[in-house]
Amino acid sequence: VAPDPASNHPELDELRARLEEIHDIGVASRLLGWDQLVKMPPAGAEVRAEAMATIDRLVHERFIDDEIGILLDGLATYGESLAYDSDDASLIRVARRDWEKARRVPPALAGEMSRVSSAGMHAWAAAREHDDYTSFRPWLDRQLDLKHEYIACFDTTDDPYDVLLDDFEPGMQTSEVRAVFERLREELVPLIAAAGTDREPAFVGRPFPWEVQQALSLEAMSAFGYTAEAMRFDTTVHPFCTGMGTHDIRVTTRFHDTDLRDGLFASMHEVGHGLYEHGVSTSLERTLLCEGCSSALHESQSRLWENLVGRSLSFWRWFYPRVQGAFPEALGGMSVDEFHRAVNTVHPSLIRVEADEVTYGMHIILRFELEQELLSGNLSTADLPAAWNARFEEYLGIPVPDDRLGVLQDVHWSAGSFGYFPTYQLGNVIAVQVWERAIAELGPLDDDFERGDFTRLGEWLRVNLYALGRKYTPQETLERVVGGPIDPEPYLAYLHEKHGSGVIA
């Protein structure tokens, strides 16, 4: 932990001390959350939900304290006198924005949201296991009620959904998302229709012991920048990544017994999130700037490592001999080009997290639409599974056999994370913008990748994006990294070039 710079400003020191304390309690909150999903015995759920609700309420209570507002008022002129880019100016600026937003939410509501999320996630896991949407429905209704209460805490906007979106993508409007998604849909629907109907690769169904998959995942992740000194790697039901500081990053994945792709790409995806958090400047440690900038920017990095790197031919020229050597029977006769194609098949499928680069967007557009309809009341939770199934078949052309593979597949709604889904697809869009800027500055990276060397890319991303943490808004951050706003065209061009002909270019 870097020592706090001497500010010569007692109010700033006091603000820092208060925010550090809140951050410390937040560390406990994140650990309680990670442990709940990765390590906790199932019967611990009820006590855990109470503990998380209390801890989250403490964070909220301490943050919305009047005294923090007084300190921020007192620091306003000082903050403006500092260079915009300085850590201190950024801390004052972002704390002000967060504080004003958090003040809108009564502590009782924040605590209840936390408690219901915790218990709801548990109910969801059981419902999913038993394909029992009915047992989950009351939790979803409760979450929707809470979302309405939450939205009512804020000034009226053009679209109530803006309030929820702002929690994940500060400053982003629903109308902007809709515009990007309209453009994507225009191109994705014909792309999906034109995609070759790839057969399942021959290796699917053959045994892939998960210990071997785990070792391979670790090897790829380590080449990308994973280090056991500062990170963990565990299996869980629904892969995710969290962190308790830049040097305590928790990457999780899951492995499929008869297909190595699921685990490998989930690992590369989650370590992308981890590398982002690990790369935040240590000068921001224990502050509210010490995390990724927004959900979409975060997702841009998981997608960049998973897709732009992890599904590239140059990556597989390096990595495939290792994978083939680890599974000689399952992959014996397969060439690197065949394998590269097998990890880039375009094929409508049921599960979002297993979807390919082309069809993925339609999974998100479906969820973006449904959650807006649930919130507006145009769709009831009773009708949700049927609506899901009908629209899924319309967008992706395949029927949904059960709710486990349909509406129950994702944890997000059980945790109250409405407004989160669209950021995944915005992340895909931004990933290509960031990638193209990196290539423009570094030149082609294929030779590096073919040697298993990802350091030039990793370092460029660290310096230009990761180190910034949350100092700037998502819009400011994107402007700094790629020189402009969000733009779907590079992403569409990438998809067309790679998948447009129906074969992998």
Q: Using CB under 8 A as the criterion, which residues of the chain lie in contact with a second copy when the complex forms? A: 1, 20-21, 24-25, 27-29, 31-32, 35, 39-44, 46-48, 50-51, 53-55, 58, 228-232, 244-245, 247-249, 285-286
- Provide the minimum distance between the beta carbon of 233 and a second copy in the complex, in angstroms, as a whole number: 10
1 vs 386, beta carbon nearer a second copy: 1
Is 200 tagged catalytic?
Answer: no
CB nearer to a second copy: pick between 58 and 468: 58
CA atoms of 254 and 256, how far apart (whole Å): 7
Q: Using CA atoms, how far apart are residues 388 and 394, in angstroms rounded to an integer?
A: 10
Take residue 386 and report the two structure tokens written for it.
């049927």
H/E element holding 239? none
Return d(Cα 93, Cα 98) in angstroms, integer: 9
Q: How many residues does the chain have?
A: 505
Q: 337, 357 in Cβ contact below 8 A?
A: no
Minimum distance from CB of 83 to a second copy (Å)? 27
Rounded to an integer, what distance in angstroms lies between the CA atom of residue 170 and that of residue 476? Answer: 11
Contacts of 299 (CB under 8 A, 6+ apart): 273, 423, 424, 426, 427, 428, 430, 431
Instruction: Report d(CA 252, CA 242) in Å as an integer.
Output: 9
At which residue do the structure tokens 């009773």 appear?
382
- In terms of DSSP H, where are the helices of 347-383? 360-376
The CB-of-244 to a second copy minimum distance in angstroms stands at 6
Q: How would you label 317-336 residue by residue, b for 16+ Cβ within 10 Å and e otherwise?
A: bbbbeebbebbeebbeebeb
Nearer to a second copy, 43 or 83 (CB): 43
Between residues 46 and 441, which has the closer beta carbon with respect to a second copy? 46
Query: From CA 112, how far away is CA 104, in angstroms rounded?
Result: 15
Whole-number minimum distance, CB 277 to a second copy, in Å?
Answer: 12
The residue (of 30 and 254) whose beta carbon lies closer to a second copy is 30
Quote the CA–CA distance of 216 and 209 in Å, as a whole number.
11
Candidate list 21, 80, 182, 270, residue with the active-site label: 270
Nearer residue to a second copy within complex by CB, 245 or 500: 245
Whole-angstrom distance, CA of residue 422 vs CA of residue 403: 21
3-state secondary structure of 169: coil
Q: Are 401 and 461 in contact (CB under 8 A)?
A: no
Q: Which is nearer to a second copy, 290 or 334 (CB)?
A: 290
CA quadruple 364, 370, 375, 376: dihedral, nearest 10: 130
Q: How far is the CB of 84 from a second copy (least distance, A)?
A: 27
The residues carrying an active-site annotation are 270
